[in-house]
């Protein structure tokens, strides 16, 4: 494992490579995404524990997406059971470590939502635990501030866990060390991640706004959801693929197979 320092433009390259990876096998990637979301949904319907139980399994399941991207580069077939790659194909020790990492992630997210209670008296926290659907006025009130605080507080959590799952599964290191190396890799390549985050935010917000504006001008507003939902799903799939590109760039992983020559390597 070699930790590299990449230029800021790598944030753009990761997204471009994510799109390239998705195009290698879009049907398989989308199937994997739906299987992942369905599994998370099943866990989340459980009372009380459903708010945090999915978080325990998220790191392990994310390894499955990384494995799918690796297989796509190597032109291997991708089946839905690759989603369990982290728990099934690396031994019991790694499986336990991924669950421990998931426990750390759930605890970190609990702290994030407890922090949000300082801004809305715990409304957002109760919503996450007991479910429900807030109205528009709620978002304009204290809960809006709590959601902003949650987003800000989540940033250090994201840095700790961005690479940690794959480091635990593929590099056989302990959860604590994996979190440390993930944090170090993200901070060392902070400029690239800023570019990555800004571009992601722009695509996720401005593109839907542009689509909505065009459809409204054409009098097709009633079909807006039909268009925006596929865009959201496709962009989410590309984003998940870009996670693997960022790992590949920050840790100098080159031996997994040939990358499309039209896509610049993330460490150049």
Tens digit of pLDDT for each residue in 163-191? Answer: 999 999 999 899 999 999 999 999 999 99
pLDDT value, residue 140: 54
Higher pLDDT, 142 or 24: 24
Count the domains in the chain.
1
C-alpha separations of 44 from 41, 75, 133 in Å: 5, 34, 15
Within its chain, how far is the Cα of 71 from the centroid? 19
Q: CA-to-CA distance for 257 and 134, rounded, in angstroms?
A: 47
Reported pTM: 0.85
Mean pLDDT rounded to a whole number for the chain: 85
Whether residue 223 contacts residue 215, with contact meaning beta carbons closer than 8 Å, is answered with yes
pLDDT value, residue 217: 87
In a domain, 73, yes or no: yes
Other C-beta atoms closer than 10 Å to the C-beta of 191 total 15
Q: Is 75 exposed, middle or buried (0-12, 13-18, 19+ CB in 10 A)?
A: exposed
Residue 29 has pLDDT above 80, yes or no: yes
In a domain, 162, yes or no: yes
Task: Name the pLDDT band for 134 (thresholds 50, 70, 90).
Answer: low
In a domain, 230, yes or no: no
Q: CA-to-CA distance for 264 and 13, rounded, in angstroms?
A: 7
Task: Tell me which range, 10-24, 46-60, 137-151, 250-264, is most confidently predicted by mean pLDDT.
Answer: 10-24
CA end-to-end distance (rounded Å), the chain: 18
Higher pLDDT, 192 or 114: 192
Task: Name the pLDDT band for 136 (thresholds 50, 70, 90).
Answer: low
In a domain, 155, yes or no: yes
Angular region, 121: left φ>0, alpha ψ -120 to 50, beta rest: left
In a domain, 121, yes or no: yes
Domain with 110 in it: 20-188
| Mean pLDDT on 219-224 | 81
Whether residue 76 contacts residue 182, with contact meaning beta carbons closer than 8 Å, is answered with no
pLDDT value, residue 38: 87
| Mean pLDDT on 209-237 | 87
In a domain, 52, yes or no: yes
């Amino acid at each position: 494992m070699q930790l590299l320092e990449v230029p800021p433009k790598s944030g753009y390259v990761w997204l471009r490579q994510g799109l390239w990876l998705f195009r290698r096998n879009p049907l398989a990637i989308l199937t994997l995404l739906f299987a992942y979301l369905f599994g998370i949904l099943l866990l989340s319907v459980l009372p009380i524990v459903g708010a945090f139980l999915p978080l325990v399994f998220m790191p392990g399941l994310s390894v499955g997406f990384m494995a799918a991207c690796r297989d796509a580069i190597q032109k291997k077939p991708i089946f839905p059971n690759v989603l369990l790659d982290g728990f099934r194909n690396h031994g019991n020790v790694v499986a336990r470590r991924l669950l421990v990492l998931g426990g750390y992630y759930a605890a970190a997210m609990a702290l994030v939502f407890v922090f949000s209670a300082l801004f809305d008296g715990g409304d957002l926290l109760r919503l996450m635990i007991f479910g429900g659907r807030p109205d528009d006025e709620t978002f304009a009130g204290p809960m809006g501030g709590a959601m902003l605080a949650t987003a800000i507080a989540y940033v250090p959590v994201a840095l700790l866990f961005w690479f940690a799952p794959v480091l635990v599964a593929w590099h056989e290191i302990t959860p604590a060390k994996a979190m440390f190396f993930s944090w170090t890799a993200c901070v060392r390549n902070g400029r690239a991640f800023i570019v990555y985050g800004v571009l992601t935010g722009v695509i996720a917000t401005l593109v839907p706004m542009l689509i909505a504006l065009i459809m409204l001008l054409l009098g097709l507003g009633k079909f807006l959801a039909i268009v925006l939902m596929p865009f959201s799903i496709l962009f989410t799939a590309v984003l998940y693929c870009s996670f693997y590109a960022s790992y590949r760039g920050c840790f100098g992983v080159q031996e997994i197979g040939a990358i499309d020559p039209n896509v610049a390597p993330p460490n150049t």
